[in-house]
Amino acid sequence: MAVSVFIDNNAWDYLFSRKVDLAVDISVDDFVFSITREAEFEIRTLPEELKVYVTKWITCGAVTTDTYFGFAEANSDGESRVGGFDCGRFIDLAESEILSSENGVIKDKLRPTGLYKNEADVSLAARSVHSVILTSDTKKVLGRVVSKYGGIVVNLALWPEDISFDSYMKTQCASFVIGQ
């Protein structure tokens, strides 16, 4: 069974600079790549060349968007973080517990992306219940994924130049077990 991998927005810089081709440089039988709905907000603010690279992988289906099912609030301050009918999936209990537990780290400051500070990281942390998180740093929120929730975070900043993306991912994800 393929390992589910959620891509943190900052990981795109590394994939782009190392010219990773998600259609060629990784075994599609071994990995399935996704982003959160919150990551879609962040893509809009990327530099144009990087935005084209990211959008290419989403458009061709190499990367999908995972959205929780829900209804937008009438007093919402912007775009919905959840999907409605035929768009979202039901949140799993463990994901819900992580979102509740980490909710306090989301700051009231709205960023240029349209997200609140740490909002995207908390969303990624929840996905660590069933997926590997691919990032390029070890922020406090994602660092707690490993220590508090037992998730796996793969840091592209530690990816050696002489190892292929596929080999690095297989090595880093070797101990991942679905439903940890």
Predicted confidence (pLDDT) per residue in 21-80, tens digit: 999 999 888 999 999 999 998 999 999 999 999 999 999 999 998 887 776 654 455 567
* Number of domains the chain is built from: 1
User: CA-to-CA distance for 169 and 155, rounded, in angstroms?
Assistant: 10
Residue 152 lies in a domain: yes
Residue 128 lies in a domain: yes
The Cβ of residue 50 has, within 10 Å, a number of other Cβ atoms equal to 16
pLDDT greater at residue 44 or residue 148: 44
The region of weakest confidence among 70-79, 81-90, 145-154 is 70-79
Residue 178 lies in a domain: no
Residue 76 lies in a domain: no
Residue 21 lies in a domain: yes
| Res. 143: pLDDT tops 80 | no
Contact 136, 155 (CB under 8 A): yes
User: CA-to-CA distance for 65 and 58, rounded, in angstroms?
Assistant: 8
Report pTM.
Answer: 0.86
Domain of 119, in residue numbers: 3-69+81-172
Residue 75 lies in a domain: no
Q: Write out the two tokens for 175.
A: 């101990």
Instruction: Please classify residue 154 by burial: count the beta carbons closer than 10 Å to its beta carbon, then call 0-12 exposed, 13-18 middle and 19+ buried.
Output: buried
Residue 180 lies in a domain: no
Residue 140's domain is classified under what CATH number? 3.40.50.1010
| Res. 83: pLDDT tops 70 | no
Residue 56 lies in a domain: yes
φ and ψ at residue 176, rounded to 5 degrees: -70, 130
Contact 112, 104 (CB under 8 A): no
| H/E run at residue 95 | helix 93-102
Average pLDDT, the chain: 85
